[in-house]
């Protein structure tokens, strides 16, 4: 069960506008703007319910989870859905600037560390996923 404060923080992280929330909730954009920017300290119950409901809708639609601070995807196939083109563009950019990047010690160190992590996971017979690599970075 998501609480009002957590739902409000989630909507702020997603940069939801008062108009967007108003369209979903049928409440006035002006009053919702004051809630989103923190001017209204004690919103009404129906306003709180609207914020919570819209946050739930967005989380489910985008397959996201929010712990009050960090927004992350719970979608196991996120690379297949929305990041595939971004990764292709990034790979092209890295290839185009390979020499300049390799001249940077921090880039070489990062590549080395990521390769070691993948090798360790593979050695243990585990499948290598972005989530596992991200968890190792914590």
The pLDDT tens digits for 117-131 are 777 767 666 655 656
For 67-108, write each residue's pLDDT tens digit.
Answer: 776 666 666 555 555 566 766 777 777 777 777 777 778 877
User: Helix or strand or coil: residue 27?
Assistant: coil
Distance CA 30, CA 81 (A): 35
Q: How far is it, in rounded angstroms, from Cα 58 to Cα 2?
A: 13
Maximum pairwise Cα distance, the chain: 58
Specify the residue for token string 């719970």. 74
**pLDDT tens digits, 23-45:** 999 899 999 999 999 999 999 99
Tokens coding 100: 């300049």
pLDDT score of 75: 60
How far is the C-alpha of 128 from the C-alpha of 118, rounded, in Å? 7
Q: Which of 138, 114, 112 is nearest to 128 (CA)?
A: 114
In this structure, how many other beta carbons lie within 10 angstroms of the beta carbon of residue 78? 16
The alpha carbon of residue 90 and the mean position of all alpha carbons in its chain are separated, in whole angstroms, by 19
Gap between the terminal Cα atoms of the chain: 26
Q: How far apart are CA 6 and CA 114, in angstroms?
A: 33
* Residue 106, pLDDT score: 81
Q: What does the alpha-carbon distance between residue 94 and residue 127 come to, in Å, rounded to a whole number?
A: 25
pLDDT on residue 135? 63
Domains of the chain as residue ranges with CATH: 4-73 (1.10.260), 78-136 (no CATH)
């Amino acid at each position: 069960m998501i609480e009002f404060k957590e739902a409000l923080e989630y909507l702020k992280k997603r940069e939801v506008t008062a108009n967007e929330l108003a369209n979903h909730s049928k409440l006035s954009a002006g009053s919702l703007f004051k809630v989103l920017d923190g001017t209204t300290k004690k919103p009404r119950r129906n306003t709180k319910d609207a914020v919570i409901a819209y946050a739930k809708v967005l989380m489910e639609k985008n397959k996201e989870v929010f712990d009050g601070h960090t927004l992350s995807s719970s979608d196991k196939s996120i690379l297949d859905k929305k990041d595939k083109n971004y990764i292709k563009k990034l790979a092209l950019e890295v290839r185009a600037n390979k020499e300049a990047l390799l001249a940077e010690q921090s880039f070489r160190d990062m590549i080395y560390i990521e390769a070691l992590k993948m090798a360790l996971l593979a050695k243990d017979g585990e499948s290598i996923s972005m989530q596992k690599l991200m968890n190792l970075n914590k």
